[in-house]
Amino acid sequence: MAGREALAEDGVMFVSIDDNEQATLKRLMDRTFEEDNFIASVIWQKVFSPKNTAMYFSDDHDYVLVYAKKAEVWRPNLLPRSEAADKRYRNPDADPRGPWTSGDLSARNYYSLGTYPVETPSGKTISGPPTGTYWRVSKERLKELDTDSRIWWGPKGEGVPRLKRFLSEVKQGLVPQTIWSYEQAGHTQDAKKELVSLMEFEDASDVFTTPKPVKLLRRILQIATDQYSTVLDFFAGSGTTGHAVIDLNREDGGDRKYILVEMGEYFETVLKPRILKVIYSKDWKDGKPVSREGTSHAFKYIKLESYEDALNNIAFTHETDGQEALKLYGDDYLLRYMLDFETRGSETLLNVEKLAAPFRYRLRLRDGEASRDVPVDLPETFAYLLGLRVRGRKVYHDGQRRYLVYRGSTPERGEVVAIWRDTENWGEADFERDRDFVEENSLTEGADDVFVNGDSFIPKARPLEGVFKRLMLAEPAVG
């Protein structure tokens, strides 16, 4: 449901699934999107050779279920025509309208005006359409088409009439079909080879066993996006979606954005390195670039604190007394008292006392058997929690003092400015200088709401610590 709500009104969702869970997923998607918004069930040929070791059938395909948020609004893009498709058009009669191909003029559907004889240019009479069929057009319409040189009678002028279709008149693309061959959308071996070429290991299956080929995601992007679309993949895996977006932008000059979500350990070892490498160069082999066809690109990644990391960062104010009380009163004491009062200084619950030095805030994270301290981007976290639509993020300097200023808006608060600076060990004169610097540089101009970390003499500004902690659900809202 959350994925559906994230879609634009003309948005669409593609979900890859294997044969084991396709039926279950279809029922779930029907409930989530409603059956009227079901678009198609695509069959993707994921392997290029049968598995002769299979007990029953060789598993050669997966499904891609397609649902629109609003089927009456969404329309697919036409797929680019291939060279092979265009080569089917020829011009054997030197028609000035250019290359053409011919189509059958007979069909099995009953047509009351479609049972007449025809005379070919050579004088041969054809008594009617092939047995069991009808001409698609009336006798009068056939004559009009023939006068316009749109009927092909064969090289000798004595064949069954066929309708000429000119390349210049067909749609400049192909309507997507529901069967995607591996030639069109790639296969699993392609996907592994792509990953091996980018990364420096011999077998991608040791690191990521089910990558998707770039061709598959590229085809989806061609059908579903324009040059300014935002693409969300909340099971990003090895990062194929980001790879495909970067490649397609590089090719057509688009400005598509991508959001990738992944919680697997291979984020650091596969996904992030893959995106970095694809930005640097389009072509790779054995983990090394073989061309310098890169792209101008920046991406930001955000790590959310895990439950285990949160527990590791809980610190008790009176450790000995706390442990003794825990033994006496059990978990109820821990949940009702200790987490509310005895752990207020824990970084994981936002230690507001340390926000005087926001650029040095750190958490202790487990890394296997060891632990390490990592910096936390508090300004960015606050912007996300506030729901701030950021328009600008700028650094100012007042001598050795550094100011980080966010400017943006939210529907509830209007124009918002959030000012971050290091106020550790500041006195009254420092706060007066702080106020003057903010006013001289018009840092709060036009703002309906001004947030600042710690104390300040800045007019209209209010400390952000309480809002920050409340938005983290570390404290209940008051009033």
Q: For 95-124, how does the pLDDT look when each residue is reduced to its tens digit (9 = 90+)?
A: 999 999 999 999 998 999 999 999 999 999
Same domain? 186 vs 261:
yes
Which pLDDT score, from 0 to 100, does residue 432 have? 96
* 197 and 58 both lie in a single domain: yes
- Using CA atoms, how far apart are residues 438 and 424, in angstroms rounded to an integer? 18
- Domain boundary, last residue among 108, 138, 169: 169
Which residues, 6 or more positions from 459, have their beta carbon under 8 angstroms from its beta carbon? 435, 439, 444
Residue 134: which of 160, 166, 96, 106 has the closest Cα? 106
CA dist 415 and 411 (Å) reads 9
**Predicted local confidence at residue 263, as pLDDT:** 86
pLDDT bracket for residue 398 (50, 70, 90) = very high
Q: Does residue 235 share a domain with residue 269?
A: yes
How far is the C-alpha of 84 from the C-alpha of 334, rounded, in Å? 70
Beta pairing partners, 406: 393, 418
Average pLDDT over residues 366-385: 82
- Residue 297: both structure tokens together: 């690109």
Which residues make Cβ contacts (< 8 Å) with residue 178, sequence separation at least 6?
A: 40, 41, 42, 43
328 and 436 fall within a common domain: no
- What's the confidence (pLDDT) of residue 346? 47
Q: Do residues 25 and 41 both lie within one domain?
A: yes
| Residue 97 shares a structural domain with residue 60 | no
User: Residue 189, Cβ neighbours under 10 Å: how many?
Assistant: 14
Q: What is the pLDDT of residues 139-176, one digit of tens each?
A: 999 999 999 999 999 999 999 999 999 988 887 788 99
| 59 and 25 inside one domain | yes
**How many angstroms from the chain centroid is the CA of residue 147?**
52
Domain that holds residue 119: 83-169
Q: Are residues 90 and 186 in the same domain?
A: no
Residue 161 located in a structural domain: yes
Work out the average pLDDT over 263-287.
90
Residue 203 pLDDT grade (very low, low, confident, very high; cuts 50, 70, 90): low
Q: How confident is the model at residue 301 (pLDDT cuts 50, 70, 90)?
A: confident
59 and 193 inside one domain: yes
pLDDT at 202: 54
Q: Which of 33-42, 59-68, 344-353 comes out lowest in average pLDDT?
A: 344-353
Residues 362 and 390 in one domain: no
Query: Would you say residue 407 lies in a domain?
Result: yes
Asked whether residue 477 is domain-assigned, the answer is no
Which of 427, 423, 435, 432 lies closest to 352 in space, CA to CA?
423
3-class DSSP string for 4-20: HHHCCCCCEEEEEECCC
How wide is the angle at C-alpha 114 spanned by C-alphas 109 and 116, nearest 5°?
A: 145
Higher pLDDT, 351 or 233: 233
Assess whether 41 and 156 both reside in one domain.
no
Residue 312: predicted pLDDT: 57
Please state whether the predicted TM-score (pTM) of the whole model is above 0.85: no
Q: How many domains, the chain?
A: 4
The answer on pLDDT for 353 being more than 50 is: yes
Identity of residue 128: G
Q: Are 274 and 243 in the same domain?
A: yes
State which of 289, 315, 336 marks the end of a domain: 289
- Which residue, 348, 342, 384, 340, is CA-closest to 365? 348
pLDDT value for 476: 47
Tell me which of 146, 169, 192 is where a domain ends: 169
What are phi and psi for residue 140, nearest 5 degrees? -65, -40
Nearest 5°: the CA angle 87, 93, 98 is: 50
